[in-house]
Amino acid sequence: MTVTATHAPGTFCWADLGTTDTAAAKRFYTGLFGWSFEDQPMGKDQYYTMLELRGKPVAALYLQQEDERSSGIPPHWLCYIAVESADQAAARVTGLGGTVLAPPFDVFDAGRMSIIRDPEGAVVALWEARSHPGAGVLGEPGAMCWHELLTRDTARAGEFYASLLGWSRESTPMEKFTYTMFKRGEQMAGGMMPILPEWGDLPPNWGLYFAVADVDETAARAEELGGKILSPAADIPGIGRFAVIQDPQGATFSLFRPLHPDRPVAG
């Protein structure tokens, strides 16, 4: 478990869920992870719901705007990476082959952010913290524990993030592919793997993992709460056990229990 008040630049610090039904999403996630929630007004008839674990923020959710839905953007989790300056980081994105989807803007006094798309199409947010540093807990059951990029060109995507965030890369051959570990110094920052042919037209994306005490039990509970198991619980030899879940509105995330829970994966 890691309780944190700050997040170093180049580390994942936050995630929020854009959904089509906030009431249903609250029921699902509070029932699944034991979270509490607090609705914070952010405009006329708009709320940003802070999701909390033992009184500490772990994630958030909000109602997708009509323009998002009409554009065909499905419910989704968006991952945030801490940066020293959202403006400076976003200014480098285009030159590295990426796209700035939302130029840097202030989020009240909480921080400043930008949303970008990497050269292969995966979307991620850059977060310059002010009053809101991000998740207050990492790694314990019910909190974020890992972030993983699925992409079609790992070399191109890897070079983009290495240049933008200063990450180094460490490759490990697996049975069907090579897994890449992104590192910030000696600290693990995230992972990357290629999209396999059998996954069809899955778009490149950053996947979010939540730690749980029991993957099988939590996956079964997700089904009882109206979710769907996209990838049944399975072991990653020497690493841990995981499952991929789709919530009732269609957003996906993963569950993970490390083989050695006392050793933090990242954060």
What is d(CA 56, CA 38) in angstroms, rounded to the nearest whole number?
Answer: 11
Amino acid at the residue 248 = P
Question: What are the tokens at 142?
Answer: 């019910």
**Among 157, 186, 164, CA closest to 84:** 164
Contact 267, 251 (CB under 8 A): no
Entry pTM: 0.95
Distance of CA 54 to the CA centre of its chain: 20
111-117 and 99-107: which strand pairing? antiparallel
Residue given tokens 């890369």 in the structure block = 169
DSSP 199: G
| pLDDT higher at 265 or 136 | 136
Question: Per residue in 216-255, pLDDT tens?
Answer: 999 999 999 999 999 999 999 889 999 999 999 999 999 9
Question: Per residue in 4-59, pLDDT tens?
Answer: 668 999 999 999 999 999 999 999 999 999 999 999 998 777 899 999 999 999 99
How would you class 143 by CB atoms within 10 Å of its CB: exposed for 0-12, middle for 13-18, buried for 19 or more? buried
- What are the distances in angstroms from CA 229 to CA 72, 136, 217, 253, 257? 23, 28, 12, 10, 16
| Residue 98 pLDDT | 98
For the chain, give the mean pLDDT: 94
Residue given tokens 């056990």 in the structure block = 241
| Residue 2 pLDDT | 61
**Secondary-structure percent of the chain, ordered helix, strand, coil, rounded to 5:** 20, 45, 35
Plot region of 119 (φ>0 → left; ψ -120 to 50 → alpha; else → beta): alpha
Distance of CA 83 to the CA centre of its chain: 16
Tell me the longest C-alpha to C-alpha distance in the chain.
52
| pLDDT higher at 58 or 68 | 58
Instruction: Spell out the domains of the chain, with CATH numbers in brackets.
Output: 2-129 (3.10.180.10), 138-258 (3.10.180.10)
Is pLDDT at 93 greater than 50 in this prediction?
A: yes
Q: What is the mean pLDDT of residues 109-136?
A: 97
What is d(CA 102, CA 96) in angstroms, rounded to the nearest whole number?
Answer: 16
Supply the angle between the helices 86-93 and 154-165 in degrees, to the nearest 10: 150
Is pLDDT at 267 greater than 60 in this prediction?
A: no
Is pLDDT at 129 greater than 80 in this prediction?
A: yes
Contact 194, 238 (CB under 8 A): no
What is d(CA 231, CA 98) in angstroms, rounded to the nearest whole number?
Answer: 30
| Residue 65 pLDDT | 87
| CA dihedral sign of residues 190, 221, 225, 34 | negative
Question: What are the tokens at 52?
Answer: 């909390």
Q: How confident is the model at residue 260 (pLDDT cuts 50, 70, 90)?
A: confident
